[in-house]
Amino acid sequence: MNVQELIKELNFKAVRSGGAGGQHVNKVSSKVVLFWNLAESKVFSADEQSRLEKKLSNYQSKEGVIILSCEETRSQIKNKEIVIQKLVALIKVALVQQKIRKETKVPKSVIRKNKENKIKLSLKKNLRKRII
C-alpha cells in the first residue's frame, strides 16, 4: 500500500469543533473530516477493494464514501495527520487475512478420561447422601 498515492485520493473538510473552548471555538475550524471514495480508488486491487468494503462497512455512507473525523487537538494540521493515521491503521487491519481454522478431532483417550472422572465425581457425591 502506497500511502502517498492514497493521500492524493482523500478529500478533507475543516469544520468547527464542538464542546467547550470559549470564543476561540466559535472562530476557528479545527475539526477535520476525511472523505474517501473506496469504489473509485486506484491504489488497491479488486480483491483488496472487496475486502475493504466488507470490513469498513461501518464507516461507509450510502454512496460508498468512507468518512472519518478528528477533533482531538486544537490544531487543524495535527487533526489532519491523526485522521490520516486512523485511516491507514484501519486499512492495514482490514487487509490482514485470518488463518482458516482447522478442526481437530478429540482423542479417544481424552474422552475416556473425562468419562472416568465424571463417574468418580458422581460416586463421591452419591456417598455423601443420607441413607434412609
d(CA 27, CA 92): 36
DSSP assignment of 4-18 equals HHHHHH-EEEEE---
Task: Spell out the long-range contacts of 44-47 with Cβ–Cβ below 8 A and sequence spacing 24 or more.
Answer: 44/1
Cell numbers given for 85? 493515521
DSSP assignment of 101-124 equals PPP-PPPHHHHHHHHHHHHHHHHH
- Quick one: which of 65, 56, 59, 67 has its CA closest to 13? 67
Domains of the chain, by residue range, sit at 3-95
Whole-structure pTM value: 0.71
Per-residue pLDDT of the chain (132 residues; tens, 9 = 90+): 788 888 888 999 888 877 666 677 677 788 899 999 988 888 888 898 889 889 988 988 888 899 999 988 888 899 999 999 999 999 999 999 889 999 999 999 999 999 999 999 999 999 998 877
Sole residue written with cell 487537538: 73
In this structure, CATH architecture of domain 3-95: 2-Layer Sandwich (3.30)
